[in-house]
Structure 1
Amino acid sequence: MIFKSKYPDIKLPQVGIYQYVTSNPNKVPDDKVIYMDGISGKNYTFGEVKHESKKLAAGLQDRLGFKRGDTLAIFSYNQIDYPIVVFGTIAAGGKVTTANPIYDAAELSRQLIDSGASILIVDPEILEIAIEALNDVKIPTSRVLLFGEKEIKGYKPYRSILSGDREIEPINYTPEEAKSTTAYLLYSSGTTSVGKGIELTHANITANLTQLMAADHALGTHSITMGVTQCSHIYGLIVLLHAILLHGATTIIHSRFSLDTFCESIQKFKVTQIFAVPPTILKLVNDPLAQQFDLSSVNIILCGAAPLGDKLEKKFYEMFKIPIFQAYGLTEVSPVLTYPDITKNTIPGSIGILIPNLKARILSDDGRELGYNEPGELWVHGPNIMKGYLHNKEATDAVIDKDGFFCTGDIGFQVAPSELESILLTHDAVSDAGVTGYYSEEEATEIPIAYVTIKDGYEKSQSLAEEIRSFVDEKVAPHKKLRGGILFIDKIPKNGSGKILRRSLKEKLKNDRIC
């Protein structure tokens, strides 16, 4: 059975990313502030974003010989100048690869080599890691530049390559070129090595931005937004940089998340919309500090990158009276597949509906197409599906079938881990939780088992494990009970966006005793 979006199909852009995000459909003036540093107050207006990015593009070409199709890497925490570098590279006809700022030297080196990056822009705070990584990478010092204003150890600020006031005319793409030309090389979360390079084209990104514009009725020129995810991640890259510029909204940028600066910025700038990840919601609920700030300007929170349980969502609403809506996607789909219909009060805990121009199907383990309310693997088809994995045709062919459907790898489980996790987080002793499946020989099926971290003042014991287990079991249907038991762990393994690494939990489970 093929499932189609409830939205009618929409006309998609036939231009490159730069032309689209600066097309100004909402007719904002050039002096409208788009990006603002939440600490220093430094900002870029709509007009400045265009001028500065085109000047950087000229500098890349004039000073560094950057050519159409070349790759520039960014290794940095969020910066007010991050969008200038991204859009300057795109204007120059290049590709951007973003490296996670928590990478060590070996991880960074592997991504630089695999992506073929010829220029690297670095956050001064992690310059030493970059220098170590460069031992194995053939990028000369003159092509390694820094965010900020200072020269450090011979490495110059990126603005040092600007050619005065010269601006270039951004590279244009025909419709076919937009479909085939890679704009971003983003890497999947690898737990033991650098992940696969995901090639997203100009058409992939502009399609997804247009799909989102048709589905998101909350974001506009009036919006003052803030996000907590890094721009090295697809969520931050597309939402905080691209969607904000396209809509003519304003976003407050912080290099990292801290609860006090986060809440202080909401109060100071009267933030109206927040792009969050589940750990942010958990911290706001658990830390009394959040109660000391006025967060009443926030109209809506959009949560993504990992599932948010409805229990935690409801608890947050009870405390702050701010509605949370969830979206779902992956890097390979540029990144959004489903989005909440905010105007129609999407069911709490749901991830919304398919965005326009998408089709989906659910497949069983043996490849049969399934119907409504049948758990299986989700496959999707649409204009936002990646070009493929870089240098890896075998991996690409394994996830994109002959009809162009992409295998998400996500399963519609009868027992949703996030539901059990949200209940576990309401127990007084539990600070964090991760649920996975455990195959029971006795029951001849997979049953839920939970790893939990406990708060200070509590001791790990069999009696506490049983107490927590009973606490959950009393609140769920029989098939959802934690029949696999409770295990204690010092830290729940998660990726940079807060998504629980369930595969890591399964690996750990092989060596752990079942309580």
Structure 2
Amino acid sequence: MIFKSKYPDVTIPQVGIYQYVISNPKKISDDKVIYVDGITGKSITYGEFKHESKKFAAGLQDKLDFKRGDVLAIFSPNQVDYPIVLLGAIAAGGKVTTANPKYKVTELSYQLIDSGASVLIAHPDFLEVAIEASIEAKIPTSRVLLFGDEEIEEYKPYRSILINDREIEPVSYTPEEAKTTTAYLPYSSGTIGKQKGVEITHTNIAVNLAQLASADCKLGPHSIIMGILPFFHIYALTALIHAPLTHGATAVILSSFNVKTFCESIQKYKINHIYAVPPIILKLIDDPLVQEFDLSSVNKIISAAAPLSDKLEKKFYEMFKIQIYQAYGLTETSPLLLHSDTTKDAVPGSIGILAPNLKAKILSEDGHELGYNEPGELWVHGPNVMKGYLNNKEATANVIDKDGFLNTGDIGFQVAPAELEAVLLTHDAVSDAAVIGYYYEEEATEIPIAYVSIKSGYEQSQALAREIQSFVDGKVAQHKKLRGGILFIDRIPKSESGKILRRLLREKLKNDRMN
């Protein structure tokens, strides 16, 4: 059975994403502050954004010979001028790949090479990794530029090179070009395998903004949004960079999370709209410092990227009397799919209903369509579904069927099991390995845990488990570390075709933890 959204379809935008975000249906004044640094107070108005992004685009063309279809990479935590770089590259006709600033050299160089990036804009605090990765990716020093105002060694601030007086008329697209032209290349594990470039088109992101507006209709020039989620992630890319421009809202940008700065910003800027993830909710509940601040300006929190337990949602409301709504999506859907019903009959804490223009089906393990209240795998269809995985037709075919339905797989801060398994298999003691996600109540999120079989000549011990865990953790970014630890198993369960039966491992883990 095919399920359809109960909402009427939104009109699918017929323009490129730059034209869409500055179309200004709400008649926003050029003086309206759109982005503000929550620490320094440095701000960018709507008018400044338009001028600076078009100057950045001109600089790319004039100084770096950046052409339509070229790829610019951003390697930085949240910055007040991150949107200028992001959408400036789009205005120049380029694509943008956004990288996690916590990546190690091998992870960043892989993304730079795989995406075909020819320009890298990096934060000075992460320059050492950026330099090594850019060398591996054969990006010349002259095309590696910095946020900020300081020149470090031979690496110059992008403003000193690219921002001059000339502004360009942003590259435009026909409706068909907007539908097929890639704008963003965030990286995702998908449901299996190594990180893959997700081709998000101009139409994908524009229509998802329209879907978000329908779901979150209270956004407007009065909205002051907390900008804490990492900009490289599709959730923040949509909700914190693009949505403020389309709604005339103000985003208060923080580069990292700590309870004191977070609460100070709410109190200082009277933030009323927060996009969050479950670990943030947990920290606000657990830290007594929160009680010292006035959070009364907040009238809505939307939690996404991982499930928020009903227990945490209820406890938060009891403490702060602030309603939390949940949303669900993934990188491959730009990202919004489901959101809490915001009507008076809504059930707080529930994931809710399909966003406009979407259809869904639930399939059993053997591929049969299921009906209401029958557990199975969620497949979705809509104009916000990605174009595909970059240069990977096989992976695309594995997740998008002949009717255009996408297999959603897992949600969250995605960790590719196969990527960690490949690292595990390079350890001398490991003969086979399988990684699964385990919901960890203390962190209010899923964490990776590994089952390993060891070679003859080695003995199962806590010391060996710690050694293997440390070996892997030294080679991957923070969110990929095996925080659930290493568990030994005599044989990894697999199907006749050799596919790891992760469901059996999850059941085993659940049973072992209960006993």
* TM-score normalised by length of structure 1: 0.82
Measured at CA, do residues 508 and 25 of structure 1 come closer, stay the same or move farther in structure 2, by a change above 3 Å?
farther
Who is 1:212 aligned against? 212
Q: Which amino acid aligns with 2:168?
A: I
The alpha carbon displacement at 1:134 in A equals 2.3
The alpha carbon displacement at 1:204 in A equals 0.5
How does 1:352-367 map onto structure 2 within 5 Å? Answer: 352-367=352-367
Measured at CA, do residues 263 and 62 of structure 1 come closer, stay the same or move farther in structure 2, by a change above 3 Å?
same
- Give the distance between the partners of 1:211 and 1:355, measured in 2 at CA: 6
Q: Which amino acid aligns with 1:117?
A: A
Asked if structure 1 preserves the Cα contact closer than 8 Å seen for 2:102 and 2:478, the reply is: no
- Give the distance between the partners of 1:373 and 1:179, measured in 2 at CA: 35
Asked if structure 1 preserves the Cα contact closer than 8 Å seen for 2:323 and 2:348, the reply is: no
The alpha carbon displacement at 1:228 in A equals 2.4
How does 1:42-441 map onto structure 2 within 5 Å? Answer: 42-162=42-162, 164-189=164-189, 195-410=195-410, 425=441
Unaligned runs of at least 5 residues, structure 1: 412-419, 440-488
The alpha carbon displacement at 1:34 in A equals 0.2
Measured at CA, do residues 434 and 99 of structure 1 come closer, stay the same or move farther in structure 2, by a change above 3 Å?
closer
- Give the distance between the partners of 1:497 and 1:330, measured in 2 at CA: 20
Q: Aligned residue pairs: how many? A: 447
Asked if structure 1 preserves the Cα contact closer than 8 Å seen for 2:326 and 2:339, the reply is: yes
- Give the distance between the partners of 1:224 and 1:295, measured in 2 at CA: 13
Q: Which amino acid aligns with 1:356?
A: P
Return 107-116 or 133-142, whichever deviates more: 133-142
Matched, 1:37 2:37: yes
- Give the distance between the partners of 2:163 and 2:50, measured in 1 at CA: 15
Return 344-353 or 392-401, whichever deviates more: 344-353
The alpha carbon displacement at 1:189 in A equals 4.2
Who is 2:506 aligned against? none
Q: Which amino acid aligns with 1:202?
A: H
Unaligned runs of at least 5 residues, structure 2: 412-437, 452-468, 491-508
Q: For 1:87, what is the secondary structure of its paired residue?
A: helix
Measured at CA, do residues 20 and 7 of structure 1 come closer, stay the same or move farther in structure 2, by a change above 3 Å?
same
Q: CA RMSD in A?
A: 2.8
The alpha carbon displacement at 1:505 in A equals 5.5
* TM-score normalised by length of structure 2: 0.82
Q: For 2:145, what is the secondary structure of its paired residue?
A: strand
Q: For 2:367, what is the secondary structure of its paired residue?
A: coil
Q: Which amino acid aligns with 1:164?
A: N
The alpha carbon displacement at 1:161 in A equals 2.4
The alpha carbon displacement at 1:102 in A equals 0.5
> What do residues 206-237 of structure 1 show as CA deviations (whole Å, max 9, x unaligned)?
11111111221221110001032100111111
Q: For 1:367, what is the secondary structure of its paired residue?
A: coil
Who is 2:456 aligned against? none
Asked if structure 2 preserves the Cα contact closer than 8 Å seen for 1:229 and 1:497, the reply is: no
Asked if structure 2 preserves the Cα contact closer than 8 Å seen for 1:360 and 1:381, the reply is: yes
- Give the distance between the partners of 1:154 and 1:393, measured in 2 at CA: 40
Measured at CA, do residues 66 and 268 of structure 1 come closer, stay the same or move farther in structure 2, by a change above 3 Å?
same
Runs of 4 or more off by more than 3 Å in structure 1?
A: 189-194, 430-439, 495-498, 503-515
Asked if structure 1 preserves the Cα contact closer than 8 Å seen for 2:184 and 2:199, the reply is: yes
Q: For 1:308, what is the secondary structure of its paired residue?
A: coil
Measured at CA, do residues 72 and 259 of structure 1 come closer, stay the same or move farther in structure 2, by a change above 3 Å?
same
Measured at CA, do residues 58 and 431 of structure 1 come closer, stay the same or move farther in structure 2, by a change above 3 Å?
closer
- Give the distance between the partners of 1:352 and 1:507, measured in 2 at CA: 35
Measured at CA, do residues 86 and 269 of structure 1 come closer, stay the same or move farther in structure 2, by a change above 3 Å?
same
Measured at CA, do residues 67 and 384 of structure 1 come closer, stay the same or move farther in structure 2, by a change above 3 Å?
same
The alpha carbon displacement at 1:10 in A equals 2.0
- Give the distance between the partners of 1:11 and 1:60, measured in 2 at CA: 33
